Every structure is written in structure tokens, then in C-alpha cells.
Amino acid sequence: MTSAGPPAPPADGGRLPGRVQVAVVGTGFAGLGTAIGLKRAGRDDFVVLERADDLGGTWRDNSYPGCACDVPSHLYSFSFAPNPDWTRSFSPQPEIEAYLHRTARDFGVLPHLRFGAELLRADWDASAQVWHLRTARGDLDADVLVLGTGPLSEPSIPALAGLDGFAGTTFHSATWRHDHDLTGERVAVIGTGASAIQFVPSVQQQAAHLTLFQRTAPWVLPRRDRAIRPAERLLYKAIPAVQKVARSSIYWLRESWILGFSFDQRIMQLAEKQAHGVLAKQVPDPELRRKLTPDFRLGCKRVLLSNTYFPALSQPNVDVVTERITELLPRAVVTTAADGTRTEHPVDTIIFGTGFRVTDPPVAERVFGTAGRSLSENWADGGMRALHGATIAGFPNLFFLVGPNTGLGHTSIVFIIETQVAYLLDLLRRLDNAGLATFEARADVQDAYNGRIQRRLQRTVWNTGGCASWYLDARGRNTTLWPTFTFTFRRQLRRADLAEYVTTARSATAREVAA
């Protein structure tokens, strides 16, 4: 499958409507999944706001060398839109981006997309029962606001002393400088997460010297990737049920990982033994191997998959530095060892593989609820929290896709997205049937729900595995991950229960505004 390119602009030139029933923010899997769900349910009064000039979300922005999904292709797609044309068992970024373009086109949602329409501020108007939205393209009102911005949308760059004075080139993996040639350069890579292990092998081959600054050694397992043969692809096209069986088998295999993560961590010992074996085989130097050996339980941080990362680090033009970065000079990264020894590492380019703002999403600073407080202020004391990871006390008619405690450490987030979209559609249907205009999570129900989630997380490897990860917020609270099987999440959200919400009928003021 080749990239379809940017979608054609809507026939009306992309003008914003004055008011819509639903405004969706973001055009990644979450936003497009919502748009398609609304369309399939016969709801056409919606608009999708996108800050960029193209759709795709994470899979548009992350185009670094080697970028690919770490969930098998057949599972990392919408269940209602299988793709028989995947060329590899783990699909590369261009194929996923092309898949999103094709799906948006095939399901007829392109006319609803508005590009260059970044959400700048959203205010809830209780009297009119509407969200007033200010965007980079103008203003509009929406009865319901759906945030589909995703947790991996805002790059996180550490506040390093001297960063502003660095004379070389700097960029984050999510804003890759394809125009910048690394050939012959001294390159620093800061961070050793899921993105870094994919692009480091490519950088190592281009750079004269690569210095990798590692704070924590990750667990790395083999990537069971292979080309999907043309005959297999033909079979999937001819008999779609075969691909459905393949998807189901992958789902249940990945679901089994949660047994070690969440129920009995002793199960992880076999995977840890395998990882140690890979490390011993691919890293012959004992000192480098020591640096690359994790000191926490597998699964505590995101488990990484690669066949090329360790071999790249074993090359003579690579240094792995574990001392703390203390400052940047115009052409060097300075580290300080535990004994106070200061070392300058000459570099021309710095690439940040430092992840994203997951536990403090910037969109939360722009959404203001009933008390005039932003969502960010609402979460300032106790961290991110929501009912079913989606609806939030104090924020009527707001639906947060892939919100608090809906992330996954073992399987496809698309499963969570589809579950939440189905729940949203059921919630809207029940409100319509009851003649209701607004929904707002009851504070007591939300608190009880989050209490159960946090108690369940206390027994998981993410909370007890001996590491610090992006799953945890500044207070050490895990506000990111769903703690158990994903099928239990789907079972809990199989129907919307209006008893969990404060609801109101449409007011006279709202009727006048709508008219």
C-alpha cells in the first residue's frame, strides 16, 4: 500500500460551521475512529478539528528512520476495516499513515475534517448548554466536545541547562529533520525509549560518532518481524475470515501478557531470561553489556522490541554514557559522574528520544469546565482521573478518548478506542431517547471508579517493578495504564448507564441558541 497523500479539502473550502452537535479534536486513530463511528450511526452533524495540514496524528508526525508499530499489523487496525495489504507482520509508519488516509476516504469522513484548526480554548456555557470553541481557523459551538488528541501527541524535551545556547542542531524524534544530513556528524541521542531503539541503528550508520545518553537501560526482546508473502495477502483478500482468525489469535496471545504484568510477576522470569540471552549474544563487550542490563523487573517500563539496537550500540563509532547530563555547551554535552568527575562530549547534533507529555497533556490547559477551571487545574491535586477514562466531573458533555488509565502496556490501543467510541455512541443514543441535553460524570461515581483502578494497579509490575517510567505522574501515581485484561474494559463499557451521570434536559436558552 502506498501513501494516499493529503486528503482533498472539503468542498466548502474547510469553513467552520457555526454550531455542530459534536466537535472532535484530532485525526489520528482516536479522532478518525470517532468520526467514522458517528457517520456509521447516522450522525452527520459533526466536525473534526486538526491543527496540522494533514490527517494521521502520531503516524503523521513520527516519520523518523525505522519508525514502525510494536503491535502486530493485523491487530493494530480498526476491526471494521481490516487491511489485507500489510507487507510486514509489524507495519512500518508509511503503511499505517496510508491506512488512515484510505480508511478516512472509504468511510466518507474527509468532508468533515478541518485542517489548520488547532483548538486554542474551549469553554463550557452552562446556560446555553454548549461548548464555545476558539480555534486557529475561527470560532464555533458544539453540543459535545470529544478530545481525540492522544497521549503521544506532545513531545517532551527536558529542561537542560544551556539548551538555548547550543550552537548545533536539535530536534525531537517526533519532529524529525529529514533535511538535516547526519553524515559525518558527531550525534548525541538523549533517551532510550521505544522511538530511540528504532532510529538509533540508522543514525549509527550515518554518523561519524554516536553518543547515546542513557538514564535507564530498557528491557529489549527480539522483534518477531517478517515479510507477509504475496500469497498470504491474496488469501486475506479472497477469504477475509482468515485474516479475522489471525487477528483474533494475535489478540489473545497479546492479552496473555497481562498475566505476568498484572497477576503474577514470576511469569516474567522466562521473558527476562530470554532478554538476557539476547543481550549476551549481541553485546560481546562485558562493560557495555553491564551498562545495558536493566536493574528492574521486565514490564515495569515499556518492553521494547528490536533485532538491531544492541548490534548498533556494539559498533566502534558508538559510546553509551550513563552519567547524568548536567549542562549543554555550544558544541558539547556535559555529564557529571557520581564522584563529581565532569566530562565534555563533543556533538554537532542532538536528537531527543525523550517521549511525550503523557501525564500532563497540554490540551488539558485549554479546556474549561463549569467552575471556570481548566482541566489541568482540575487534575492539579490528584492527577488525571475520569470515569471510564473518558467523562469527567465538572466538565459536561466532554468525552476524552484514551484518557486517564486507558493506556496499555501489552496490546493494541485501537481496541480501547473502538470500545470508547461504541460507549460514546450508546451514551448519545440514550440521552436522545430520554430527551436529555447534557451528561456529566457524578463526582462520587468517578471517585469510586478511580479508587478501584488505583487499588488494582498497586499489585502490578508497573507500580512495584522497581523503576520510574512515563506511566507514573510527578507524584508517582499511575494515571496512564489500564490494570488488567482489555476484554474486561469492553465488558464494563458495553452499555452506558445514565445513573452514573448528572443529566439535564435542554434549556430554553439552549433551544433559542440552537434555533
Note the pLDDT tens digit of each residue in 25-50.
999 999 999 999 999 999 999 999 99
What mean pLDDT comes out for the span 213-226?
A: 96
Q: How confident is the model at residue 508 (pLDDT cuts 50, 70, 90)?
A: low
Q: What percentage of the chain carries pLDDT values higher than 90?
A: 92
pLDDT digits (tens, 9 = 90+) for 271-304: 999 999 999 999 999 999 999 999 999 999 999 9
Whole-angstrom Cα distance, residue 350 to residue 133? Answer: 37
Judged against a pLDDT cut of 90, whether residue 12 lies above it is answered with: no
What mean pLDDT comes out for the span 247-259?
A: 96
The three three-digit cell numbers of residue 416, written as one number: 480501547
Q: Report in angstroms the alpha-carbon separations of 163 from 200, 263, 308.
A: 22, 43, 30
More confident residue, 63 or 2: 63
Judged against a pLDDT cut of 80, whether residue 2 lies above it is answered with: no
Whole-angstrom Cα distance, residue 56 to residue 104? Answer: 10
**What's the pLDDT score for residue 507?**
74
What mean pLDDT comes out for the span 379-403?
A: 96
What mean pLDDT comes out for the span 341-346?
A: 97
What mean pLDDT comes out for the span 259-273?
A: 95
Q: Cα–Cα–Cα angle for 179, 180, 186, nearest 5°? A: 170
Average pLDDT, the chain: 94
Question: What DSSP designation does 175 have?
Answer: G
Q: Is 78 exposed, middle or buried (0-12, 13-18, 19+ CB in 10 A)?
A: buried
The three three-digit cell numbers of residue 281, written as one number: 549474544
Contact partners, residue 66, CB within 8 Å, separation at least 6: 198, 199, 201, 202
**What's the pLDDT score for residue 381?**
87
Q: How confident is the model at residue 513 (pLDDT cuts 50, 70, 90)?
A: very low
Q: Kindly report the CATH class assigned to 163-218+257-352.
A: alpha beta
**What's the pLDDT score for residue 509?**
53
pLDDT digits (tens, 9 = 90+) for 370-390: 999 999 999 998 899 999 999
Question: What DSSP designation does 10 have?
Answer: P
Record the pTM: 0.94
CATH 3.50.50.60 residue spans of the chain: 19-154+358-442, 163-218+257-352
Question: With the C-alpha atoms ordered 53, 55, 59, 65, is the resulting torsion angle positive or negative?
Answer: negative
Place of cell 443514543: 429
What mean pLDDT comes out for the span 297-322?
A: 97
Q: What is the largest CA-CA distance in the chain?
A: 75
Judged against a pLDDT cut of 60, whether residue 471 lies above it is answered with: yes
Whole-angstrom Cα distance, residue 232 to residue 294? Answer: 38
Whole-angstrom Cα distance, residue 293 to residue 278? Answer: 11
Whole-angstrom Cα distance, residue 430 to residue 467? Answer: 43
**Three-state DSSP class for residue 130:** strand
**What's the pLDDT score for residue 152?**
87
Judged against a pLDDT cut of 70, whether residue 58 lies above it is answered with: yes
Whole-angstrom Cα distance, residue 31 to residue 101? Answer: 13
Classify each residue of 114-134 as buried b or exposed e, where b means 16 or more C-beta atoms within 10 Å of its C-beta.
bbebebeebebeeebbbbebe
Angle between helices 29-40 and 413-434 (to 10 degrees): 40
Q: Where are the beta strands (DSSP E) in 347-498?
A: 349-352, 367-368, 398-400, 436-441
pLDDT digits (tens, 9 = 90+) for 489-506: 999 999 999 999 999 998
What mean pLDDT comes out for the span 464-483?
A: 93
Judged against a pLDDT cut of 90, whether residue 335 lies above it is answered with: yes
Judged against a pLDDT cut of 50, whether residue 5 lies above it is answered with: no
The three three-digit cell numbers of residue 120, written as one number: 486554542
Whole-angstrom Cα distance, residue 442 to residue 152? Answer: 28
Architecture of the domain made up of 19-154+358-442 = 3-Layer(bba) Sandwich (3.50)
Whole-angstrom Cα distance, residue 347 to residue 162? Answer: 14
pLDDT digits (tens, 9 = 90+) for 408-463: 999 999 999 999 999 999 999 999 999 999 999 999 999 999 999 999 999 999 99
What mean pLDDT comes out for the span 468-492?
A: 95
**What's the pLDDT score for residue 511?**
43
pLDDT digits (tens, 9 = 90+) for 83-102: 999 999 999 999 999 999 99
The three three-digit cell numbers of residue 282, written as one number: 549481541
What mean pLDDT comes out for the span 3-23?
A: 67
Contact partners, residue 73, CB within 8 Å, separation at least 6: 83, 86, 88, 89, 90, 91, 95, 228
Whole-angstrom Cα distance, residue 505 to residue 515? Answer: 16
Contact at 8 Å (CB) between 145 and 122?
yes
Contact at 8 Å (CB) between 178 and 199?
no
Whole-angstrom Cα distance, residue 176 to residue 130? Answer: 39
Judged against a pLDDT cut of 90, whether residue 480 lies above it is answered with: yes
**What's the pLDDT score for residue 495?**
97
**What's the pLDDT score for residue 514?**
47
Q: How confident is the model at residue 10 (pLDDT cuts 50, 70, 90)?
A: very low
